[in-house]
Structures are given as C-alpha cells and as structure tokens.
Amino acid sequence: MVDTKTKDKEVIKKLEGLGEQVYKQINQGANPTVALPVRSLGNIFFDQKSRTIKLGDKMSERQFLNIAHTRKFMQTMLVANEIKKVIHENATVSIRDLYYALKHTIEGTNENTFENQDESDPLIEDLEASLNLLREELHLAASAKGIISGPMVVKDGNDTIDLTRMGSGGWSVPSNVEEDRIEIKKMEADYVLFIEKDAVWRRFNEDKFWKKNNCIIITGRGQAARGERRLVQRLNKEHKLPIYALMDADPWGMYIYSVIKQGSISLSYSEEKLATPDTKYIGLTVGDVETFKIPKEVTIKLNQLDIKRLNELQSYEWFKHKKWQAEFDLMKQKNIKMELEALSKKGIRFITETYLPQKIKEEDFLP
C-alpha cells in the first residue's frame, strides 16, 4: 500500500503540472489549451486480456479561445485548483460538496461559475482520465448509493461492522472502499448476489435470503456507483466469490450488468479498478418465460426506445458472445421485456425459493 502522504504529493504535483503548462501557454501569448482523452464510445475498446472496457488514446483539446469551450476551460481550472485545496486540507469531500464549493457568481455578471452538478461531474472525470488518477486519490467521493447484507464483517475506521446485524436497512456501502479505508475482517459467504433493484433487495433481506443461502446480497439501486462496484471486485478478487447478477430482463438491466462486469464508457479510464469480469448473469432472461412457465400477461411489450437501446447493446464488443446475441434476438422476436417483480405472479417466494436455487444449481447463466 502506497503511503497516503506520498500519493497526495504526487497528485498535487500532477495538478500543478497541468496549471504550469497552461501558465506557460498564457505567457507565450498562445491559445491556452488542455489536452484531454476523449471519453466517448468512439475512443473506448474492449480489452480481451483484462476483459474490461478501456480508454483508447484519442485526445481532444479544450481551448480557452474557443467560444464553445471557453466556459468549460475556465471550469477545468477551477476544479483542478479546488481539488488541490481539498487534498491540502486532508479532507475527503463528495462531488456534490465540490460543486457547491466551486459555485460562485462571476464578478460583474449574473452568471455562476457552475450552474448545476452536471457541469462539474464530467470535469472531475476529465481530470481523473487525463492525469490517470482515481477519484479516491483526488479525495473525492461519489454519493453513496449501494446497500449490502450478509455473512461478513468489515472494519471501517475504528468501527467493526457485522453485516448480518444490519436490520432491515442493510449497510450503506461507502464511496471509498479501498483497503486503507475498509478492511474485510471475516468472510463466510459462498457467493455474491448483485440485485438491480432496491425493492427486490429489500424483499431478499426481509426473507433473510443471505442467511438461508449463505451469500452476500448487494444492490446499487439502479445503475451501480463506484463504491459497490469496487467492493464487489474486491470480494471476487480477494475472496474468490462468484458474482451473480439479478436484473430486469430489459436492455437497461442488462446494461447495468455489463457495467458491473466490464465497466462503463464514461469511467473507462479506471475500469481495471472497478470492473469484475467474472460476474455472471443469472437472470432474468426472456428464455425464463418458457422455462419457468411465467404467464404472458406479466411481460411488457418493447417500446421504440427499448428496441433502439437493444440494438446498441447488440453492437457493443463486450456483448458479442453468441449466447447474448441469441438472447437479444429472442427478446426482439418475442417483443417482450420483464421486470423482476413479475415473478411474484408465481407466488411471493417463488424467486427466492424456486427460481434462484434452480438457476444456480443448473448453472443456467449468461456470460
């Protein structure tokens, strides 16, 4: 483990380096410019070796003397400076804190430096990507979203937490789960079940599914944030736990799964640190409708947006596996999607007592 102080110094040096470079351009009377990696679909690729999404080497320039860039250029300078301040003060702040810290009215105008958090968040990602730093190294935390329960004990600072004793609410996954912050003291589970939806996770928790099945249940409540993704990676790498994903059978659920497994496009620069390529897709699938004799009336017809998204998914490199392609084709052919809650039609405990055990036993997964 790298010493925090040394790491902080290195980060500050990188931030100042960026500033020095701009300062030099200004003194030369040149158009101040920062080079940033392009963080869009056009500049990412699926790395077969690490089995994660990675950022390519295309760069773009953000120029001060470009009317379309100038505001963002100004904001980039402010973000870099603010992060340096946070590190100096040895604090960790949320990206929302940072947004408020940066927001002020520009002198002589009624315009703010930042109008909403949507303006500051991507700039943080730009800096992470261009300086090759993790958000945690910048002393920034994303808002915590995930919840977890199951047979494990963690040490968070001075607190030792038993995740079997978290009641109905579960333990809220912190945004920074690096080893220096969260230590896994005890691990007794056989596998991790990653559940897409909060409501379904709560049902599983109420039923003590983790106890009966000796597993960890975790949810990102929709799209998973970095905290739970990093934690899942650690459970997989450090404790060799299989990760199973339980999602809605629709393009959105399937994409959330792929983010857990291979990473996202916008965070492609740090996916090696976040993605868990061993994750398996347990369900739902359109094939389940026949296998489990699920009544037709609980399925939902695909809309235009679903089909558009489905086609995009089908074209992604990391969904090229023939089993996935077959699933997409079947979905389009049957023209249906299905929510996790739909299984309740077969009985309130059908999902926990029949569906999951059978799926796991028969290893009926999608890769």
Partner 1 sequence: MPDEKTLTRIANPTADDLAKEFREHSVAEFFKKNKQMLGLSGKTKALTTIIHEYITNSLDACENANILPEIEVHIKELEAEHYEVTVADNGPGLTRETVGKAFGQLLAGTKFHRLMQMRGQQGIGASGATMLSQMTTGKEIHVITGNDKEVISCDLSIDAKYNQPKVHNIKILTRKFRGTIVKAEFKEMKYVNNEQGPLEYVRRTAIANPHAKLTFTDPSGQTIAFERTAKTIPDKPEEVKPHPRGVTVDELLNLAKYTQARRTNSFLKIELDRMGDTAVKEVGEKVSFDLNKDPHALSWREIEEMVKAFKDITFIAPRTDALRPIGEEQIKRSLQTIVEPEFLSVVTRKPQVSEGGYPFQVEVSVCYGGKAGRRVGDEMRIEIMRFANRAPLLFDTGGCGITEAVKTVEWKRYGIRDSETAPLTVFVNLISVHIPYTGAGKQAISNDEEIVEEIRLALMESGRKTARYIISKEHERLKQEKKRIYMKYAIEVAIGLGELIEKDPKPIEHKLLETVAKRLKLDEQQEKKMEAQTDEDLEKELERLNKEDKKKGKAKKPAENEEGGEE
Interface residue with partner 1, options 115, 156, 183, 190 (CB under 8 A): 115
In whole angstroms, what is the distance from residue 339 CA to residue 253 CA? Answer: 9
23, 99, 100, 269: which one is catalytic?
100
8 A C-beta contact, residue 191 and residue 243 = yes
Report the residue number, 102 or 294, with the smaller CB distance to partner 1. Answer: 102
8 A C-beta contact, residue 246 and residue 219 = no
Q: Does 127 bind partner 1 (CB under 8 A)?
A: no
Spell out the residues 6+ positions from residue 189 whose beta carbon is closer than 8 angstroms to its own.
150, 151, 152, 210, 214, 215, 216, 241
Report the residue number, 259 or 356, with the smaller CB distance to partner 1. Answer: 259
DSSP assignment of 169-224 equals T-EEPPS---TTTEEEEEE--SEEEEES-HHHHHHHHHTTHHHHTTEEEEE-SSS-
In whole angstroms, the minimum distance from the beta carbon of 224 to partner 1 comes to 8
CB atoms within 10 A of CB 44: 24
Interface residue with partner 1, options 43, 81, 92, 291 (CB under 8 A): 81
Q: Does 27 bind partner 1 (CB under 8 A)?
A: yes
In whole angstroms, what is the distance from residue 86 CA to residue 78 CA? Answer: 12
Q: Which stretch binds partner 1 (CB under 8 A): 203-211, 221-229, 237-245, 279-287?
A: 221-229
Question: How many binding residues for partner 1 (CB under 8 A)?
Answer: 51
8 A C-beta contact, residue 215 and residue 209 = yes
Interface residue with partner 1, options 11, 14, 15, 231 (CB under 8 A): 15
Active site residue 100: yes
Single-letter code of the amino acid located at 180: D
Structure-block tokens of residue 37: 């990696």
- Residues in the chain, total: 367
From the list 103, 97, 101, the residue with the least C-alpha distance to 116 is: 103
8 A C-beta contact, residue 284 and residue 330 = no
What element of type H or E holds 259? helix 251-261
Q: Does 142 bind partner 1 (CB under 8 A)?
A: yes
In whole angstroms, the minimum distance from the beta carbon of 110 to partner 1 comes to 11
Report the residue number, 55 or 342, with the smaller CB distance to partner 1. Answer: 55
Q: Which stretch binds partner 1 (CB under 8 A): 74-82, 186-194, 300-308, 313-321?
A: 74-82
Q: Does 34 bind partner 1 (CB under 8 A)?
A: no
Q: Does 78 bind partner 1 (CB under 8 A)?
A: yes
| Active centre residues (catalytic) | 100
Q: Which parts of this chain interact with partner 1 (CB under 8 A)?
A: 15-16, 18-20, 22-23, 26-27, 29-32, 64-65, 67-68, 70-71, 73-74, 77-78, 80-81, 84-85, 95, 106-109, 111, 113, 115-119, 121, 125, 142-143, 145, 223, 225-226, 259, 264, 266-267
